[in-house]
Amino acid sequence: MGRLGPMELVLILAIALVIFGPAKLPEIGKSLGDAFGNFKKQANKVTEEMKIDTSDNDEEKKS
């Protein structure tokens, strides 16, 4: 599967505009942005917890 080019993005936006209407698109965009932001925040949190757990395990093995 290749990358999306500018024409594909325009086509997707046009279809979304027809389906949802111009009034709903900003709400949908905000919801998607919030969802991606929350996902990234939680993913970073899990990554940090994994780093802490592995460093704790390394310290226990050294003792």
Q: Which pLDDT value is given to residue 60?
A: 65
- The pTM for the full model equals 0.59
Amino acid at 17: L
Portion of the chain with pLDDT greater than 70, in percent: 86
Per the listing, tokens 């024409």 go with 7
Q: Which pLDDT value is given to residue 40?
A: 96
The angle subtended at Cα 4 by Cα 8 and Cα 18, nearest 5°, is 35
CA distance 24 to 39: 22
Give the residue ranges of DSSP H helices in the chain: 6-20, 25-62
CA distance 61 to 56: 9
* 19-47 pLDDT tens trace: 989 899 889 889 999 999 999 999 999 99
